[in-house]
Amino acid sequence: MKIACVTLPERGATDHILTEIAEELQAMGRKLIGIVKVSEYQSSFANGCDMVVRVLPEGPEIKITQNLGKGSDACRLDPGAISEAVTKVETGPMESADLFILNKFGPEEAAGRGFCATIGAALEHDIPVLIGVGEGSKEAFAHFAGAFHVITLVDKQAIFDWLQATSLINTTTLEQ
């Protein structure tokens, strides 16, 4: 089973690189499922703690956070919107997918909900899985992944090397 996580130290960097990778792979004709952050979305909060994701391969875009009002420090994640995104991915073309991408293994997945079953389904279909994992979710992700051999990737070159090792891409074509 092929599963890798991307962990970058800068805030928002993991989302950015996974979105970029998804765009590049789709331009190469690869069939993707999952979700990535919509880079163009401008957060209305100073800490950037709201998000819109794009369901792969072609949408829709779903706002997965809710506005809890000025000054709220509670989690803005909208479980209903996450559930909608999961449903859209699960009803998509999983059997023909080349790669499953999840922008973030977050609170819903840490609790055993969210995309957990979808990750399992992708692995059962022998689809490589690429997941963003933030510092705060590393322990929960390690518990979730359990006995799987998970490779941690820390930059774009490492991601492309892993994609080549999974036979998803040929990096010689990238160098031309």
pLDDT in tens, 40-77: 756 665 555 677 999 999 999 999 887 766 665 556 77
For the chain, list the domains and their CATH numbers: 3-144+155-170 (3.40.50)
Q: What is the pTM of this model?
A: 0.88
pLDDT in tens, 89-138: 999 888 889 999 999 998 899 999 999 999 999 999 999 999 999 888 99
Could you tell me which of 34, 36, 32 has the C-alpha nearest to residue 98?
32
Return the SS3 of 142.
Answer: helix
- Burial profile 118-135: b = 16 or more Cβ within 10 angstroms, e = fewer: bbebbbeeebbbbbbbbe
The answer to whether residues 123 and 1 touch, using CB atoms and an 8 Å cutoff, is yes
User: Which amino acid would we find at residue 142?
Assistant: A
